[in-house]
Amino acid sequence: MADFYSHEVIKKRQRMRELKPELAKAFAEFSQLVFKDAALSSKVKNLIAVAVAHSTQCPWCIDGHTRRAKELGATDEEIAEAIFVAMEMRAGGAYTHSAIAMTSAETAKG
């Protein structure tokens, strides 16, 4: 079985760029624009990305955005806090969706 989390696998993205170069270029340009300083600083945007990357469970995103956040002056405490926000959101989603299970349990036969 392939190791999907290996950095060697990242090289396979080149195939995507070969197949659809215009879309790959557009995505790269979009990504650069999104992380530029604007209403939110690039540092804050990268801290958001660290949190989201933990929710989406993308190891490359966790690595890259954590490193970029540090380069932009984020502290370890800020990074940890962003991750705890992601943890709460994931746990909160499971908790709130429990209402679906409880409703189903009430109406199920058995």
Does 1 have pLDDT greater than 60?
A: no
Residue 9: what pLDDT? 76
Range in 5-19, 20-34, 47-61 the model is least confident about: 5-19
State the pTM of this model. 0.84
The domains of the chain, with CATH numbers, are 41-107 (1.20.1290.10)
Q: How much of the chain exceeds pLDDT 70, in percent?
A: 96
Q: Please give the Cα distance from 102 to 91 (Å, whole number).
A: 17
Q: Please give the Cα distance from 51 to 55 (Å, whole number).
A: 7
Residue 89: what pLDDT? 95
Residue 2: what pLDDT? 57
Contact by Cβ (8 Å): 55, 88:
no
Q: Please give the Cα distance from 90 to 85 (Å, whole number).
A: 9
| pLDDT tens track for 97-108 | 999 999 999 999
Does 11 have pLDDT greater than 90?
A: no
